[in-house]
Structure 1
Amino acid sequence: MTTVAPENITDTPPPPLQEGRLYAFFFDVDGTLAALQAEPDAVSIPLIVRDRLLALSQATDGALALVSGRPIAQLDALSAPHRFPLAGVHGAERRDAESQLHRVTLSEKVVTPLQNMLQQGMSAMQGTLLEAKGMAFALHYRQAPAFEHQVLALAESAVEKFPGLQLQPGKCVVEIKPQGTDKGAAIRAFMQELPFKGRIPVFVGDDLTDEKGFLAVNAMQGISVKVGEGAGHAHYRLNDVADVYDWLEQLLSQIKHNNVGKGSRL
């Protein structure tokens, strides 16, 4: 595995972390813990990776959360049989370490006409996919990249028509979500609560949707890691999903080496 820091960063790459420090881990899912697929429903996290996440969570007293654009129900299915704190729909819904749910909702007076508008517009673009998330909508064009500009125009017109919404571009997708919800806000909320509070945040993500998370972690003097190519606000880089898997394995090996018989935590 290789790690590449941006030109203006000279610090040691993330793995291994410093012994004796307390860390809190936040992971994006699609493109980070799971390889991107043509259809969102085809995405999966290998069982061995789910088990590594559980082991890392246990080693940090539960200070590990998944932070994703997917709804919480999908995140639970992808991480089963394990159960983690979660932030879904870019922070519009969040389940804390005490299993308390926090949700931002949209009025039915907005959801129904907005969904009808989007369905009508997307139906004219063969190969695109509309994903309804309750309080947000994802307009996918991975299998129809020629419609990128039309999909973006449709999303922009929807946000103009319905106040209180904002756009979130991503890889071959543009999402419509409530204003004020993003992964950075979700991470900040977790960091105010136990078992995350007082720890150094580590956030790993791959997409434009993760940039607010990187900024939040950087402001807390944490470790921000981008997966894949492209510029951004992360201080470190892992090449691909396979590198993320290797990093998790390295972290657990470090924990086992440092903590055997000591009962200490990373």
Structure 2
Amino acid sequence: MTSRIAVVTGASSGIGAATARTLAAQGCHVYVGARRLDRLKDLADEIGGTALELDVTSDESVTRFADAIEAADVLVNNAGGAKGMSTVADADLDDWRWMWETNVLGTLRVTKALLPKLIASGDGLIVTITSVAAFHAYDNGSGYTSAKHAQAVLHRTLRGELLGQPVRLTEIAPGAVETEFSLVRFDGDAERAAKVYDGIDPLVAADIAEIVGFVASRPPHVNLDQIIVKPRDQADPGRFARRV
């Protein structure tokens, strides 16, 4: 892993920040991208990486971001998120647009921009963090589940389109991970966000980061196509064994 260059989006907190730390500990120089540049700079200083402002919903921002990276061996598409829990009948179109722009088109923009560099590396790796919501539909989650289904299909399509090229592709689909995810979904309502994890032992960001590190450390001929990881207390997106 020494001297390899890794790029992590959505790296200002949670899974992205933990992944950047893991890849740096494995010897990568890590470019971290997100909108909160102050947090990114602190992280980059900590791990000896490079902080670059990135808004995956903006073509111009993604172009500036990619142009600042001379070469890339590993790309971790982590930027994404959910907003709201409305029904289809009450869907907030602005929330839907944000989820599709961030999860789907954001992944497309960054992957497309860095793909030539990943191919040129001779041993590229694209890791896309999706969700168990990419496999299941659940009530009041149509905006997020539809976006995650689309993001996952985008990634899975690339697996065939890049067959024969020196690029591996891994989809990691986590279940309940206690990060800022629910805080964003519920528009900063900390009490409501905390209730998501009541009575269970959720995954934490480091759990997912360790999996990314394992994937990135496999030899070039090994492709881990798809990894689904959930807490022991979770069966599917809406079914938990809660100790309350």
Give the TM-score taking structure 2 as reference length.
0.41
Task: Indicate the structure (1 or 2) with the bigger Cα radius of gyration.
Answer: 1
> RCO greater where, 1 or 2, for CA within 8 Å and sep 6 or more?
1
